[in-house]
Structure 1
């Protein structure tokens, strides 16, 4: 596991936001320390190609005048909360401690449940690694966050960003995104904020409800206008696409303390003294054992970076391609039910097994090369990019600047002192996706 200190060089990036917000954004002149980070949830790496029929002038602007990664590779597991925290720490989940959308801490008998946000607010879940907004706050940079993870959880019991609206599930509503983005720009322009982070989940919502290639996703993209980065993609996971595997008949209630997650993997905490029995039951279970890989935590391959944390339980069950693991739906399962989603993520994306899990990274502005397609960028690389944009001395992280160096135009004025830059909007506009269970009409599917 390689950990590097970021290089602290000057970086500028400009934001083009399309017709909904372009006028205000272009008036929002600021210096190059200012940064807007936008996370658009569930934006798969090939959505623009799939949905070309929708027409997206904002994305066309990025592609024509900016730089894009071939794709953004999420951390494992490619789900929301783990990747959200990787973006703002540069660490793999096994290092930053948010190892899933659903977690169970046996020592505290505490559950972390994406579908019950009151369970995610306990500061003890979040103390393994300092997020970017705490680093900026400690450095004296006013920071605003809109619907971004648990920005309301105090660091070390007392430190909070100056402005925070924490994540909550909301119905599909692009107008809320526009409102939040405009407020973020106002705060940077008129109130001296240096970092604003805005989250939007319309893409992920429509992807879960209708699948990743539906017309509803096209409409959501058209309303969103601008995207820079996402944490994971989405794959078709309806009954016609992936065969369901039910682990409940394979498990003896008396031998299991808790199961967490579903779909792309299941993490199992056996009762004390029953690890081998549970492992053997899974490996010999009819109609299941031939279609899954049962792995002891210590034997997880290094490419996953998913074994060195106490909240990762002893047994991990991975479905083979074409299969989907149902939540056991018992009183020891987290989540408690499977849901009805036909679009899903969380599947093994290592070794290119599930390319649908890939996300995107775009950037546009005076510091970036124009019309350039870069190579593959890892999710753990994004943190260094953000720190460099802010000229901020951040903590050590698992990524590298090597994967994003060719984003920058070395012949531009980006290397000049910040005071020499002209007075125009200078932002890095970055977005991240997540894995969320949301209601569509009267039906709610687990993410």
Structure 2
């Protein structure tokens, strides 16, 4: 009787503990994460230009050499993909400029109408809905009342606000005595602006811009260390898309193909008729290497000194939800593709998997050979045993 009561009491306590953890009672503090985007940071900039601060950042963390972004490789669609895990056709932001023929409404990057954004729930709102606080420093869409909500802290977009000011706001949000945030986003316009102006192949001018970005990364790292956040906050540095060099030899004059009266020009991008000089552009096929950005991560959630070749941009969202302990919205990504980046996930790389398979085959082969040898020896032993038994029986027969 007493044993039964004790077991029931123990089970009751276990259930209360589990429910308490779900409600946040006596649970550990929520994980902290900052998502940083440097617009238009082409993946191979890492190989073509010296960036010692960024190299220091991922030396003790992880590096994904190429991230396959979504089509169309534009700023707003890809930034919304990073925070929703959805392709553009699912989250609704399919371009920087849009037109709805049914409502006759137009959308551009300066609009804040929530109608265009409400087809998805960005991670900063999911974080808020599950009991935490979010802060966004000029991330596309973060100042829009998506589903009638905004993050607890946010900065309206203003290109005149310096990188240092944006970082200072984030460190303030993370160190407030009350109501501190545990998730923040940070957007910076470069190297996209310079990539458009000079083109990615202009090594002289792009090296200057990327050196400034490297200094900005160094400033972010130093500020996190100054506020004792470096060892506790996870940081992801990535981008939305790459950049391609334009050429006057590769121009399609749209008016020679389609009569202007047969279409409405919504957005001026590589899909429309452009006359490029030496500038750079994006918006092309997302299978092109020149359109791919990169991703680097540092913090307690990430492995140390790990490098991999590629993931998809839709995979960033489920990874962030995992780090923050959130139940994410339905999305097009998968945590499986980012497991090797995370400390708490079991990861087997292809060479290791091949080695394990070969090892298992060798062990099974060895065991099979041993069993065959044993089977051959057992009948032989039994025959000799039978002869011995017959010798023992002879005296009894006499």
Write the distance in 2 (CA, Å) between the matches of 1:140 and 1:183: 21
Question: How has the CA–CA distance of structure 1 residues 339 and 182 changed in structure 2, closer, same or farther, with 3 Å as cutoff?
Answer: farther
**Corresponding residue for residue 400 of structure 1:** 334
Does residue 45 of structure 1 match 2:31? no
Question: Could you tell me how far apart the structure 2 residues matched to 1:356 and 1:89 are?
Answer: 24
Larger radius of gyration: 2
CA distance in structure 1 between the partners assigned to 2:167 and 2:138 by the alignment: 11
Which of these residues, 231, 244, 255, is aligned with residue 240 of structure 2? 231
Q: Which structure: greater strand fraction?
A: 1
Q: How many residues align?
A: 296
Once residues 410 and 142 of structure 1 are traced to their aligned partners in structure 2, the CA distance between those partners, rounded to angstroms, is: 24
Query: How big is each residue's C-alpha offset from its partner over 1:284-332, in whole Å with a ceiling of 9 and x where there is no partner?
Result: xxxxxxxxxxxxxxxxxxxxxxxxxxxxxxxxxxxxxxxxx42xxxxxx
5+ long unaligned stretches in structure 2: 1-27, 218-235, 347-398
TM superposition shift of 1:262: 4.2
- 1:164–1:125 CA distance, 2 compared to 1 (3 A): same
After TM superposition, the score normalised by the length of structure 2 is 0.69
TM-score by length of 1: 0.62
Partner of 1:383: 317
1:89: how far off?
0.7
Q: Please give the secondary structure, in 2, of the residue aligned with 1:404.
A: helix
Which residue is 1:346 aligned to? 283
Q: Quick check: which one's helix share is greater?
A: 2
Q: 1:341 to 1:393 in 2, by over 3 A?
A: farther
Structure 2 residue 131 is matched with structure 1 residue 140 = yes
Q: How does 1:433-444 map to 2 (within 5 A)?
A: none
Q: Compute the RMSD of aligned alpha carbons.
A: 2.3
Aligned to 1:260: 266
1:216 corresponds to 2:205: yes
Shift of 1:394: 1.3
Paired residues of 1:264 and 1:348 also in contact (CA < 8 A): no
Equivalent in the alignment of 2:152: 162
Displacement, 1:196?
Answer: 1.4
Unaligned runs of 5+ in 1: 1-29, 267-324, 327-337, 413-447
Dislocated runs of 4+, deviation >4 Å: 338-341
Q: Give distance in 2, aligned partners of 1:408 and 1:152.
A: 30
Q: Is the 8 A contact 2:69 2:240 kept in 1?
A: yes
- The answer to whether the aligner puts 1:90 opposite 2:90 as a matched pair is no
**SS of match in other structure, 1:228:** strand
1:250 paired with 2:272, answer no
